[in-house]
Amino acid sequence: MATMVFVNFPVSDVKRATEFYEKLGFKKNEDFSNEETSSMVWDDNFWIMLLNHDFYSKFIKEKTIADARTTSGVLVSFSMESAEAVKKFGETAKANGGDFYKVDMGIPEDQMYGLEVQDLDGNTLEPTWMQM
């Protein structure tokens, strides 16, 4: 069996976050979703779990949920099929209330292209394309 990756993001509004991720191309898996969480599927191996703050807090004991708009705790990178797909992902995020920016790593765009894409709560995704 292939390894699956489940990224858990704390979100302030599950419904609003779900709509945002659907616009990015994720599909909601109803079997693992309820009023506290949405299970958002990119493909068979990569899922993002959107958890409201109360539910997310159950998994972190007495730690505080970071405000991802001002504090970075993780960058989640995943591959895409082309530089154009990465650009479209960023533009779609921005058109729906998120944002994105490009970090210049000194690598030519025809070799590698990636963006830093932020969701409505400031959680950061890094869609990336690399010439293999």
Whether 66 is in a domain gets the answer no
Same-domain pairing of 57 and 86: no
Helix, strand or coil, per DSSP, at residue 48: strand
Tell me the pLDDT band of 18, cut-offs 50, 70 and 90.
Answer: very high
pTM: 0.90
Count of the separate structural domains present in the chain: 2
Burial 27-59 (b: 16+ CB within 10 A, else e): ebeeeebeeebbbbebeeebbbbbbbeebbeee
Q: How far apart are CA 77 and CA 98, in angstroms?
A: 17
Q: Are the CB atoms for 65 and 79 separated by under 8 Å?
A: no
Chain segment 71-129, per-residue pLDDT in tens = 998 999 999 999 999 999 999 999 999 999 999 999 999 999 999 999 999 999 999 99
Same-domain pairing of 87 and 33: no
* Structural domain for 119, as ranges: 71-132
- Of residues 63, 32, 66, 62, the one with CA closest to residue 50: 32
Residue 1 pLDDT > 80, yes or no?
Answer: no
CATH of the domain at 100: 3.10.180.10
The pLDDT, as a whole number, for residue 110 is 93
